[in-house]
Amino acid sequence: MRARLQKFLKRLKQENLDGFIVSSPANISYLSGFTSCDAYLLAAKKEIVYFTDSRYAQEVKPKLKRWASLKKINGSVFEIIANTCRDLQLRRIGFEGRHMAYAEYRKIKGYLRPGEYLIPTHSLIESLRQVKDAGEIEKIREALKITGLALQFVRSFIKPGTKELEVAAELERFIRYNGAIGAAFDIIVASGPNSAYPHHRPGQKKIREGELVLIDIGVDYFGYKSDLTRVFFSDKIKDLTRRIYDIVLEAQRKAITKIRPGEEIARIDALARNYIADKGYAKFFGHSLGHGVGLETHEAPSISANFGGVLLPGMVFTVEPAVYLTGKFGIRIEDMILVTKKGCEVLSGFVHK
């Protein structure tokens, strides 16, 4: 955690910033090393200040020992932040352009004095978060372990007559009983034609004989997330379903085998996309191939055609090719990959060298 703060302070210096107001809960969690909500963090070379109110103050106090001071908010948090900036003699104060609400920005600005500036920034902390350290990877592994067990457990509930919502409820209960704080996002259980909607919300629909069931589930393990999709079907499934399943699986394999440090991210997306296109299903795969996972379910890097840059060891992201045939069914297969020093590891399964 110390190392993360040091890295961030170095980054601030490069950006010519004296201090930085962090308002995104995930970014505060990242810098503080514990799950934070309803807080602000002011990072400056001289001092790190954590702002929160009486609901959380007692709980976080021992966790801030030796690296940050705590300011309990009563009254306007924005006035307190602005005053603290003045006490620390900060003139160029960065903030997260994507996360601070316009109303908050105006309030803080209103309390600042002439010569003190709020400077918008983009993804300063998010870019650091792309590469995970050993502690983070450990938590992600644990999150995935629970997710894998949940998918195994739920198999017996996937049968004709069961409602999608009932399957989702069983999963939700299971992950909490097995150590997760909760689901990372609303669990998707989509049966039959519903699986053609990438983000279907499970409902009262009952699973019918011969239908496939797509489950997309992630858990939250001490702030770290997982994200996996599996499609379940019986041997009696139609030939077309089987054929599409094999295409999607092969597309995933093609992308995964090329994941290694230095590889262009856009190329990984292209490998899976081109294979699906060659099979004649280009227009049925609309979303990007994957996304980073960590303190948020969707974070950098985006595994897509437009994301510049190359893979780095320590990156963790999903590879989730899909084919959606509206009115019929959809197949998505999603795994989480860790870029290792030489290649990659499928965190949810086998190892690629």
CB of 218 to Zn ion, least distance (A): 6
Q: Which one of the spans 161-169, 214-222, 266-274, 303-311 is the region binding Zn ion (CB under 5 A)? A: 214-222
Does 211 help bind Zn ion (rule: CB under 5 A)? Answer: no
Tokens of 340: 């290792």
Nearer to Zn ion, 48 or 315 (CB): 315
Rg, Å, the chain Cα set: 23
Does 147 help bind Zn ion (rule: CB under 5 A)? Answer: no
Contact residue for Zn ion among 96, 116, 211, 216 (CB under 5 A): 216
Nearer to Zn ion, 192 or 290 (CB): 290
Nearer to Zn ion, 136 or 227 (CB): 227
CB of 2 to Zn ion, least distance (A): 31
Contact residue for Zn ion among 96, 164, 227, 345 (CB under 5 A): 227
CB of 228 to Zn ion, least distance (A): 7
Residue written as tokens 């004709």?
Answer: 160
CB of 105 to Zn ion, least distance (A): 31
Do 262 and 270 meet the contact criterion of CB atoms below 8 Å apart?
no
Three-state SS letters, 263-328: CEHHHHHHHHHHHHHHCCCHHHCCCCCEEECCCCCCEEEEECCCCCCECCCCEEEEECCEEEECCC
CB of 284 to Zn ion, least distance (A): 18
CB of 173 to Zn ion, least distance (A): 20
Q: Which one of the spans 13-21, 43-51, 207-215, 332-340 is the region binding Zn ion (CB under 5 A)? A: 332-340
Residue written as tokens 């086998």?
Answer: 350
Question: DSSP letter string over 96-114?
Answer: ETTTS-HHHHHHHHHHSPT
User: What Å distances lie between residue 10 and 84, 100, 118, CA to CA?
Assistant: 21, 22, 19
Does 318 help bind Zn ion (rule: CB under 5 A)? Answer: yes
Q: What is the DSSP letter of 157?
A: G
Residue 5 phi, psi (nearest 5): -65, -40
Q: Which one of the spans 41-49, 118-126, 195-203, 208-216 is the region binding Zn ion (CB under 5 A)? A: 208-216
Nearer to Zn ion, 5 or 333 (CB): 333
Give every CB contact of residue 321 below 8 A, 6+ residues apart in sequence.
248, 251, 252, 255, 272, 273, 276, 285, 289, 332, 333
Q: Which one of the spans 94-102, 204-212, 276-284, 317-325 is the region binding Zn ion (CB under 5 A)? A: 317-325
Residue written as tokens 């990959």?
Answer: 337
Give every CB contact of residue 233 below 8 A, 6+ residues apart in sequence.
211, 212, 213, 241, 245
Please give the Cα distance from 36 to 52 (Å, whole number): 10
CB of 239 to Zn ion, least distance (A): 27
Nearer to Zn ion, 52 or 195 (CB): 195
For binding to Zn ion (CB under 5 A), which residues are involved? 216, 227, 229, 318, 334
